[in-house]
Amino acid sequence: MKVTEQVVEIDGTVRPIGQPPDRRIGTILRNANKLAGNDIEQVLNLQNSSGLRFGEAALRLGLVTAGDLRNALAQQYDLPQLAAEREPISGELVVAAEPLSRSAEQIRALRTQLLIRWSGEGPACRMLAIVSPGRHDGRSYLAANLAVAFAQLGRRTLLIDSDLRRPRQQQIFGIADKVGLSSVLSGRAGREAAVPLPEFGPLAVLPAGAPPPNPVELLSRDAFQRLLFELGQVFEVILFDTPPARVWADAQSVAFRAGSVLMLARRNHTRLADTTRLTRQLADAGAHTVGTVCNEF
């Protein structure tokens, strides 16, 4: 006689092993040791009498915190979310730290627009350089959050900090940068220099590494093209943080390798003439500008 193993759930029902996992908020909170059996009974009683959702009822009874509920919702919907105890990570990562904020929603909207643009181009790896004319336009902020947003969607994503002059991604993500892009391009390391960050989903960051004396030359070498070919076999999306294009020629080299550019302008800061000139220069270099984003901070 064939015996089917059973699992007893918190509401007394049974579920054969092999079925999809129970993703009810009550189960998630119980498994996280946020609720006990008596707590769940109290929540269910209030839920039945008031019509509240389970999480709202638990919150009203003071059995869980807003943070507990937010983490449970993130788990329920497969949304990688930055844990409060994860340090050191910059508050600039709003998509992870504040997923319900207006800024995070704007990043996700940008991600959607990019996916729509890419939808008819087949399964090839997408490479996109985040470029702007001047300093303090928000390139690192946008590149970091956009990378996390793609990873949250389940896309295998790599963020490359190709600003070999004043890199910032190692600070934003709180990772070491002794080995990075400069090490790889000079032949002292391989693609394993990319740091996996599974707490954000299938995301890896390749920091800039030690500042070299010849950034433009490194980024112009065939080794960079070979590296991107190898990485394109592993990742679905590769994003590049770049230095200010009006100041350094590095950004044009990176844009040429990436093939596609997202132009960034900062409101009341970036001159229209500079943006127009840079777009033309990138087009002459063979890079296609897929769109322009206006940063309002």
Q: Tell me the per-residue pLDDT of 103-118, one tens digit each, with 9 for 90 and over.
A: 989 999 999 999 998 9
Q: How many angstroms separate the CA atoms of 175 and 83, rounded?
A: 16
Could you list the mean pLDDT of each consecutive 10-residue stretch along the chain, which spans 297 residues?
Answer: 38 48 82 86 88 87 84 70 54 84 92 90 84 88 96 95 95 92 92 92 95 92 93 96 88 92 84 84 85 78
Q: Tell me the per-residue pLDDT of 172-229, one tens digit each, with 9 for 90 and over.
A: 999 998 999 999 999 999 888 999 999 899 999 999 999 999 999 999 999 999 999 9
Q: How many angstroms separate the CA atoms of 70 and 271, rounded?
A: 41
> In the prediction, which pLDDT does 6 show?
39
Model confidence, pTM = 0.77
> In the prediction, which pLDDT does 269 show?
77
Q: Domain limits of the chain?
A: 6-76, 94-295
Per the CATH hierarchy, to which homologous superfamily does domain 94-295 belong? P-loop containing nucleotide triphosphate hydrolases (3.40.50.300)
- How many whole angstroms from its chain centre is CA 221? 28
Q: How many angstroms separate the CA atoms of 144 and 171, rounded?
A: 11
